[in-house]
Amino acid sequence: MKVLKGDCLKLLEQIQDESVEAIYLDPPFFTEKTHKLKNRDGSQEFSFDDLWGCHKKYAEFLYQRLVHLHRVLKSSGSIFIHCDATANYLIRSLLNEVFGPDQFRSEIIWYYKRWSNSKKGLLPAHQTIYFYSKTDSFTFNTRYTDYSESTNVDQILQRRSRDSQGKTVYARDEQGEVILNDSKKGVPLSDVWEIPYLNPKAKERVGYPTQKPILLLERIIEMATNPGDLILDPFCGSGTTLVAAKLLGRHGIGMDISDDAVNLTQQRLINPIKTDSNLLQKGRNSYLTADKEALALLQGLDSIPVHRNKGIDAILKQQFNHKPILVRVQKPGESLLESIRLLSAAAQTKSSQLSILVQTQQSESISEQMIPASIKIVHAPLVQIKQILHDTGKDNAVS
Amino acid sequence: MKVLKGDCLKLLEQIQDESVEAIYLDPPFFTEKTHKLKNRDGSQEFSFDDLWGCHKKYAEFLYQRLVHLHRVLKSSGSIFIHCDATANYLIRSLLNEVFGPDQFRSEIIWYYKRWSNSKKGLLPAHQTIYFYSKTDSFTFNTRYTDYSESTNVDQILQRRSRDSQGKTVYARDEQGEVILNDSKKGVPLSDVWEIPYLNPKAKERVGYPTQKPILLLERIIEMATNPGDLILDPFCGSGTTLVAAKLLGRHGIGMDISDDAVNLTQQRLINPIKTDSNLLQKGRNSYLTADKEALALLQGLDSIPVHRNKGIDAILKQQFNHKPILVRVQKPGESLLESIRLLSAAAQTKSSQLSILVQTQQSESISEQMIPASIKIVHAPLVQIKQILHDTGKDNAVS
DNA sequence: TACACCTCTGAATCTTCCA
DNA sequence: CTGGAAGATTCAGAGGTGT
């Protein structure tokens, strides 16, 4: 691991041709003031130079460095450029210029959930990483994702058979459930990655403005290099790339023009802290306490699903007496009284004055007095249907 | 709804300045190959004339049209351009030129799950839509989504304030009790949208190469326009934009240079929109299909699921008078009477003497006489809950 | 007009508490 | 003591407000 201080343009001169397996960079973006619009009537002939406009300086800056980066890359090497939303199109053109359009591999979308704000418009929740290789024979380790994470993929993994008309259909067992394929290889990683944003509470955080999650870099490094390979980050900032490289047994060279960045990086390399994302490790589904079946019963209702809370499955968006309206769906094998108890407890802590319990199981009749006034009970279709069958059965003794 | 045949450059001249609220376009992509796709029965063939010799020619082609599109847009209007991965950076530059970089609103990422393992590298699974507005005061209807699974909604409901050190803490009243927030709407929609790719088997599919899911268009239209507004699609293709616009009560103008596209669009607009309507409703409830939704309501019932379009969703294993007991779940956007009619018809052919209808929508009260004796109606939780809210609202005039 | 400061916000962690 | 659930905390980014 080497961390060099200075402008990477100069520092790169010391790096040998074709010596680096992978490059990751998150170049600084110069925010320049907007340029004026020219004639919009379309009368004038279109010129490509216009597109560059005032960004010429920045383009030049990056272009020079990209040329060097291309030079030091091995023929099996790849480059990953992390882009600002305002500059990605610019960087893309430069990459096409330096690496060639044929060497474009992927436009990786890193997306995440984030705090919202009152912005008018869509909440920005992704960043772009361009992936180019130097030649067509580039190092690439295919990575598979767990297919169980996504229900859509489940469908793809369903076993197929032919129906009576000879059409391909999904195979189903006697219960009508789909049968899954045996293959457990998983789904090849796509170019859309959900990786949690570096959380405000994460210990991994070192306070650097554009700090990236180690998990993001790990994925890139594992994908494009093998252990022992050399990785270069010409704008290393807080040094996440090098930390990830070290954790994965790769070599690394970092460069930054700022003293602080270089110091920070060296410090982090001595004692790398990586917060294992609970979310990523266990998967989103591990948080779900309000199970799918329960929420399905509430479909169409204007409600907020509630997880991480045993007593309730949802809160209505509507309020009652300025207090939340809680909803619980009776769970299988749970007595009605137990349901009422759990819901009552939740209602108390949330000072709710109106709660709704969806009864899903037929039960012993319980006295009205055992139901708190603030709890209303509604019946799942199943319960009502069974009641109907029971009633008609009495009249009409045929099963 | 108007569908015009011809090059949109010419056709746009007929459109008044500042008369359109939103524009969606999916311009022909820059590819060397021609898009050709046979209709499923092989009878018809669609083709694009999208052989652009070089980038410059393509850029010029698009630039001229963008200038006109900018002109016809109202000052509160927005434009959405659907981009191919190979051309998005180019289109982005053109938009900056014509609309101005300050009018960039979002880079929308539409992603979907796919299955393929043929390629070395990452599986492409997204497309980009650029969202620019004409001015800063653009029409925008915020849409809300669920909170993340890892979010403790319970906490979100509590009001917060700052303590003496300026740290954020929960607000408490004099008794030390937490103060609750007003009702929450959820999280504003982000710029990353997961929308399933058009299933090759979907009925929606009409055989046009780049057809987009109607759900995608629905989201854009609802976001950027209000009912009665005018929407323009200068490369309307199979007409999904216009269909979505019509279903949402907006006006629309479509243009396409191909006879096939214009005919197809007109056909889709004239034809009963029922299929589209169903699909539109289907998409509204995140990822559950109408089938699954219906089954969810019937969970735990000892029944045999039945394929759709036969008036029924399930047949109970139990019988009544040695005849099957049929179950139908009222579909979104379907009136109760319509449901009864469909179920009755099915009951007749199956000579069922007892059928059950699960009412999922609140409805006008209908007289008992309109319900055949053999049909029993049960209520989905949603209906019962709305009734409770209605009743308590009357007693307790606080929302 | 320009700018500093305050307010509001949701994700996902960290911390505490309880059985 | 331990594991897990419930509760608390932090940050960044946009808008609003006041000087």
Give residue-wise pLDDT tens across range A97-128.
899 989 999 999 999 998 888 889 999 999 99
Please check the confidence at residue B220 and state whether its pLDDT lies above 90: yes
**Cα B144 to Cα A284: distance, rounded to the nearest angstrom:** 20
Q: What is the mean pLDDT of residues B196-211?
A: 61
DSSP single-letter state for residue A172: B
User: Quick one: pLDDT at residue A279?
Assistant: 62
- B125 and A315 within 8 Å at the Cβ level: the answer is no
Q: Among candidates B324, B296, B299, B297, which has minimal Cα distance to B310?
A: B324
CA of A118 to C1' of D15 (A): 6
**Cα A382 to Cα A384: distance, rounded to the nearest angstrom:** 5
User: Quick one: pLDDT at residue B373?
Assistant: 87
Nearest nt (C1') from B163 Cα: D9
H-helix or E-strand spanning residue A206? none
The band of B310, judged by pLDDT with boundaries at 50, 70 and 90, is low
- B106 and A124 within 8 Å at the Cβ level: the answer is yes
| Whether B308 contacts chain A with CB within 8 A | no
CA of A116 to C1' of D15 (A): 12
Q: Which residue has the higher pLDDT, B267 or B71?
A: B71
Partners of A168 in the beta sheet? A162
3-state secondary structure of A79: strand
Q: Among candidates B135, B39, B27, which has minimal Cα distance to B87?
A: B27
Q: Which nucleotides along chain D are within 7 A of a protein C-beta?
A: 5-16
**Segment among B251-265, B277-291, B353-367 with least mean pLDDT:** B277-291
Please check the confidence at residue B52 and state whether its pLDDT lies above 60: no
**pLDDT averaged over chain A?**
80
Q: What is the mean pLDDT of residues B368-391?
A: 86
Q: Which residue has the higher pLDDT, A243 or A287?
A: A243
3-state secondary structure of B225: coil
For chain A, strand residue ranges (E) read 2-5, 20-25, 73-83, 104-111, 126-133, 144-145, 160-162, 168-170, 187-188, 192-194, 230-233, 251-256, 303-305, 314-320, 323-329, 354-359, 375-379
Provide, rounded to the nearest whole percent, the portion of chain B with pLDDT above 70: 79
Q: What is the mean pLDDT of residues B327-344?
A: 85
Please check the confidence at residue A156 and state whether its pLDDT lies above 50: no
Q: Which of B97, B104, B321 sits opposite A396 (nearest CB)?
A: B321
Q: Which residue has the higher pLDDT, A317 or A8?
A: A8
Tokens standing for A169?
Answer: 């259909």
User: Quick one: pLDDT at residue B207?
Assistant: 58
**Cα B174 to Cα B167: distance, rounded to the nearest angstrom:** 20
User: Quick one: pLDDT at residue A184?
Assistant: 46
**pLDDT averaged over chain B?**
80
Provide, rounded to the nearest whole percent, the portion of chain B with pLDDT above 90: 34
**Cα B163 to Cα B179: distance, rounded to the nearest angstrom:** 15
Please check the confidence at residue A231 and state whether its pLDDT lies above 70: yes
**Cα A387 to Cα A361: distance, rounded to the nearest angstrom:** 11
Q: Which residue has the higher pLDDT, A150 or A180?
A: A180
Residues 362-381 of A with CB under 8 A from B: 376, 378-381
Nearest nt (C1') from A202 Cα: C13
Q: Which is it for the CA torsion A201, A203, A209, A213, positive or negative?
A: negative
**Cα B89 to Cα A89: distance, rounded to the nearest angstrom:** 4
**Cα A89 to Cα A86: distance, rounded to the nearest angstrom:** 8
User: Quick one: pLDDT at residue A45?
Assistant: 40
| Whether A388 contacts chain B with CB within 8 A | yes
pLDDT digits (tens, 9 = 90+) for A189-230: 899 999 888 888 888 888 787 889 888 999 999 999 999 999
Q: Which residue has the higher pLDDT, A30 or A74?
A: A74
Please check the confidence at residue A152 and state whether its pLDDT lies above 50: no
Q: Which residue has the higher pLDDT, B342 or A31?
A: B342
pLDDT digits (tens, 9 = 90+) for A323-336: 888 888 888 778 88
Please check the confidence at residue A43 and state whether its pLDDT lies above 60: no
User: Quick one: pLDDT at residue A154?
Assistant: 37
CA of B171 to C1' of C6 (A): 17
* Integer Rg of chain B from CA: 26
Q: Which residue has the higher pLDDT, A107 or A284?
A: A107
Tokens standing for B289?
Answer: 């299909």
User: Quick one: pLDDT at residue A276?
Assistant: 64
Q: How far is B266 from chain A (nearest CA, A)?
A: 31
**Cα A312 to Cα A356: distance, rounded to the nearest angstrom:** 10
Q: Which residue is it, tokens 């319970």?
A: B154
Under a CB-based contact definition with an 8 Å cutoff, are residues B209 and B35 in contact? yes
The band of A182, judged by pLDDT with boundaries at 50, 70 and 90, is very low
**Cα A201 to Cα B162: distance, rounded to the nearest angstrom:** 18
